[in-house]
Amino acid sequence: MPLKAAIVPVTPLQQNCSLIWNDETMVGAVIDPGGDIEKIEDALSQVGVTLEKVLLTHGHLDHASAAGELSRKYGIPIEGPHEDDLFLIEDLPNQSAKYGMPVYGDFRPDRWLADEDTVEVSGMTLRVRHCPGHTPGHVVFIHEPSKLAAVGDVLFQGSVGRTDFARGNHEDLISSIRNRLFPLGLDIAFIPGHGPMSTFEAEKKTNPFCSDMAVGAD
Ligand SMILES: [Zn+2]
Ligand SMILES: [Zn+2]
């Protein structure tokens, strides 16, 4: 399987920015560059990866704020999230100032994503699922051949994304997880937006918010 992945924790929120790349071409993408561009660039040069695009799961500050800067610096496109997160992306410079984070330049994604779109990264195809709930335009990227997903703030080990932000919806979130992620295969491992990796199977069994028992489905 040519896909390789590495996690680069960024920002004071310890967001899991991820690098994914094709180890035959050493070309790849950065998912959710929320800040700390120097750390991301260090990781890129350590593994020797050339960036081809930026992928965004959603429009929150800690995931998206450095996307425009990387896009301009490397001349690469930004794909994702779903257009329903436009209101968040438009507000990023404000939010950065408000939370005392570096204010990077504003941007518009080159491509909005919809449910069941695909995204190409150096010859590898990622499947896209639109998973609203944490934000209305949140998307998840899945590389089915290697059984790996980048789920942003939809699902965590033992928890799920907050839904008390603007346009969050807890029922939508649980429905996204159970109806759009778990059916892709319980053997899929995922990189969450924060914290350690897990698998869909472990969360379906034991997650206090979205397990079979939590939703009365067992
Ligand atoms: Zn978020
Ligand atoms: Zn986050």
Q: What is the pTM of this model?
A: 0.97
Sheet holding 50-55, edge to edge: 3-10, 15-22, 27-31, 50-55, 78-79
CA of 131 to the centre of ligand 1 (A): 12
CB 114 within 8 A of CB 131: no
Q: Can you tell me the distance from the alpha carbon of 35 to that of 190, in angstroms, rounded to the nearest whole number?
A: 21
CA of 190 to the centre of ligand 2 (A): 15
CA of 24 to the centre of ligand 1 (A): 32
Q: Can you tell me the distance from the alpha carbon of 148 to that of 191, in angstroms, rounded to the nearest whole number?
A: 8
CA of 61 to the centre of ligand 2 (A): 8
Residue pLDDT tens, the chain, 218 long: 699 999 999 988 899 999 999 999 999 999 999 999 999 999 999 999 999 999 999 999 999 999 999 999 999 999 999 999 999 999 999 998 898 888 888 999 999 999 999 999 999 999 999 999 999 999 999 999 999 999 999 999 999 999 999 899 999 999 999 999 999 999 999 999 999 999 999 999 999 999 999 999 87
CA of 217 to the centre of ligand 1 (A): 27
Cα 216–chain centre separation: 28
What residue ranges define each of the domains in the chain, with the CATH number in brackets? 3-206 (3.60.15.10)
The burial class, CB within 10 Å (0-12 / 13-18 / 19+), for 55 is: buried
Name the 3-class secondary structure at 179.
Answer: helix
CA of 172 to the centre of ligand 1 (A): 15
Q: Which amino acid is it at 121?
A: V
CA of 153 to the centre of ligand 2 (A): 5
